[in-house]
Structure 1
Amino acid sequence: MRKKVVFMGAKEIGSRCLRALLKAVKADAVEIVGVLTRPTKLDQGLSVGELCDEYDLPRLESLKEYLALSNVDIVISVQHDQILKKPHLEKPTDVAINLHMAPLPEYRGCNQFTFAILDEANRFGTTIHVMEKSIDAGDILFERRFQIPDDCWVEELYDRTVQESADLFAETLPDLLQGDYTRTSQEELVAERGTNYHYRDEIEEVKQIELSWDAERIQRHIRATDMPGFESPYTIISGQKVHFER
């Protein structure tokens, strides 16, 4: 029986995951009953919205419209920008999952690529987990890890994670649809892996560089925060921002 799926997503990774879901539609394993998306700075190629237009997928304008749907088996969130509350999470009969482009429970929240570089982590990853009321804290269903290259820049780590995330989603989608997975509690992993939660506005603090820092720290903060399309790292001289440019 075809699973009725709602897809909530954006950015390049959202588009790539929706394409994988469309292959499942073609194989008659899925019916996409709604898509909720918004344009972002990190859209690449055909956005999620443009894919909806091309494949005549039903667009949802709000979470209220999502709740009004008659039948939903699975909700898939990929870089969706709204926090889902209890009624949203309880709507699907099977599961509501999120693809979080970072290893869990180590990097919950936002700007995980930046903080991995600042932490001088040597490994990173991507995770598909069950959504619950606490953000990025639900049981892990699927994950993969990979090495961070030496002197990695944030754009490089982001691009690698997009690729790894798209591969993970495509490879595990059949198991997700069939319910063929084991749930691993993140709380069981905290002692071994550690955990941190980073907020969206923290990026502004780590972009500001002090010239009194040693050269390695300055260079690391530049590598961690210089993302095309966003304000570049800077220092303050005579009360004015002076940006570092590559």
Structure 2
Amino acid sequence: MKIILAGTPEFSVRSFEEVINHFDVVGIITQPDRPKGRGQKVIETPVKQLAKRYGIKTFQPEKISEIYEELKDMDFDILLTCAYGQYIPQRILDLPKIAALNIHGSLLPKYRGAAPIHYSILNGDEETGITLMYMVKEMDAGDMIFKASTPIEEGYTTGLMFGILSMIAADHITEWLNNIEKGLFNRYPQAKEEVSFSPKITKEECEITSEKTIFESQRMIKAFNPFPGAFIMRDGKKFKILNYSNNQEGIEFKVKDGSIYITELQAPGKKALPYKEFLKGSEF
């Protein structure tokens, strides 16, 4: 079975490598390389680095529609996306012989959109998972094929859940694609009454203020770690909050119904530090 992959971040790499090792991957599409960090050095996407390791033809269009003619001339059965980061027009979704499929980081129909893992932690969910689904014009609205779930333990951050879910996707994707090739699967429409959304998190949503509750503040710290990063403002400066304690150990920050206790934080332009080290010589 010939497959074209489309993805960009580290989250895609494990499952894509499984696909490369078990199927005929004839091309990989990823976002253009972008400048990052203070030095604005151009960094290759993790998926491009994967493609180079295996010598697979790579496409990096600003808009995927730019490579429509090239894709149309290619012979492939499946287009498989995972955290690609671009809207894919219907005429490209129609190209594969079998299907255009997406690996989504939630148990659909819950949390369609760009930030499903963030929202599962922000809302205090007890479980999340991976859904393999058909791609349609409407974002994340296609029929579901397979799911795999996992608990969200107390203290789990978005960063940790990204790693867990990427491993779950990698553990299942070969079996799922084999079943699709053999026709051993069903399609399950998403129940409209159960649909919820997880739009991209804005920086403004990450501020912990005195109007937040303890629970809200703690969930924000976990949900926005490591990115975009929950923060508090102090003397006009933004301090990123990475961890907290439940036992009144740490820097106290008063909120609506009590206090949270910050155990790890990061000053502007500095590295993250445990609170005791942070307070040495600090006027915080």
Same fold, TM exceeding 0.5?
yes
Aligned residue among 232, 239, 260 for 1:242: 239
In the alignment, residue 221 of structure 2 is paired with which amino acid? I
What SS class does the counterpart of residue 18 from structure 1 fall into?
helix
Check whether the contact 2:16–2:170 (CA below 8 A) recurs between aligned residues. Answer: no
Shift of 1:51: 2.7
Check whether the contact 1:140–1:183 (CA below 8 A) recurs between aligned residues. Answer: yes
Give the Cα–Cα distance (whole angstroms) in 2 for the partners of residues 66 and 21 of structure 1.
23
In the alignment, residue 61 of structure 1 is paired with which amino acid? Q
What SS class does the counterpart of residue 244 from structure 1 fall into?
strand
Give the Cα–Cα distance (whole angstroms) in 2 for the partners of residues 114 and 153 of structure 1.
8
Aligned residue among 102, 107, 111 for 1:107: 111
1:69-218 aligned at under 5 Å gives the runs: 69=71, 70=73, 71-186=75-190, 189-191=191-193, 194-200=194-200, 202-218=201-217
Aligned residue among 16, 37, 43 for 1:18: 16
Check whether the contact 1:33–1:58 (CA below 8 A) recurs between aligned residues. Answer: yes
In the alignment, residue 7 of structure 1 is paired with which amino acid? L
TM-score (norm 2): 0.73
Give the 3 Å change call, closer, same or farther, for CA 212–105 of structure 1 in structure 2.
Answer: same
Give the 3 Å change call, closer, same or farther, for CA 231–82 of structure 1 in structure 2.
Answer: closer
Shift of 1:66: 4.5
Check whether the contact 1:34–1:66 (CA below 8 A) recurs between aligned residues. Answer: no
Give the 3 Å change call, closer, same or farther, for CA 149–106 of structure 1 in structure 2.
Answer: same
- Partner deviation per Cα, 1:22-58 (whole Å, 9 max, x = no partner): 2224xxxx3x2221113589xxxx9322232222211
In the alignment, residue 49 of structure 2 is paired with which amino acid? E
More helix, by proportion: 1
2:224 pairs with 1:220: no
| Percent identity (aligned) | 24
**Aligned residue for 2:229?**
232
What SS class does the counterpart of residue 137 from structure 1 fall into?
coil
In the alignment, residue 29 of structure 2 is paired with which amino acid? L
User: Pairwise CA RMSD of aligned residues?
Assistant: 2.2
Give the Cα–Cα distance (whole angstroms) in 2 for the partners of residues 10 and 166 of structure 1.
15
Check whether the contact 1:154–1:225 (CA below 8 A) recurs between aligned residues. Answer: yes
Unaligned ranges ≥5, structure 2: 37-44, 243-263, 265-284
In the alignment, residue 106 of structure 2 is paired with which amino acid? A
In the alignment, residue 26 of structure 2 is paired with which amino acid? V
Give the Cα–Cα distance (whole angstroms) in 1 for the partners of residues 233 and 11 of structure 2.
35
Aligned residue among 64, 67, 70 for 1:65: 67
- How many residues are aligned here? 228
Shift of 1:110: 1.7
Shift of 1:80: 0.7
Give the Cα–Cα distance (whole angstroms) in 1 for the partners of residues 174 and 8 of structure 2.
16
Give the Cα–Cα distance (whole angstroms) in 1 for the partners of residues 70 and 144 of structure 2.
28
Shift of 1:121: 0.9
Give the 3 Å change call, closer, same or farther, for CA 151–52 of structure 1 in structure 2.
Answer: closer
In the alignment, residue 233 of structure 1 is paired with which amino acid? A
Check whether the contact 2:15–2:166 (CA below 8 A) recurs between aligned residues. Answer: no
Give the Cα–Cα distance (whole angstroms) in 1 for the partners of residues 46 and 138 of structure 2.
28
Shift of 1:210: 0.8
TM-score (norm 1): 0.83
Shift of 1:147: 1.4
**Aligned residue for 1:7?**
5
Give the Cα–Cα distance (whole angstroms) in 1 for the partners of residues 228 and 148 of structure 2.
30
Give the Cα–Cα distance (whole angstroms) in 2 for the partners of residues 134 and 66 of structure 1.
19
Shift of 1:239: 4.0
Give the Cα–Cα distance (whole angstroms) in 1 for the partners of residues 155 and 59 of structure 2.
42
Higher Cα radius of gyration? 2
Check whether the contact 1:109–1:198 (CA below 8 A) recurs between aligned residues. Answer: yes
Check whether the contact 1:234–1:242 (CA below 8 A) recurs between aligned residues. Answer: yes
- Partner deviation per Cα, 1:118-151 (whole Å, 9 max, x = no partner): 2111111110000000101100011111211123
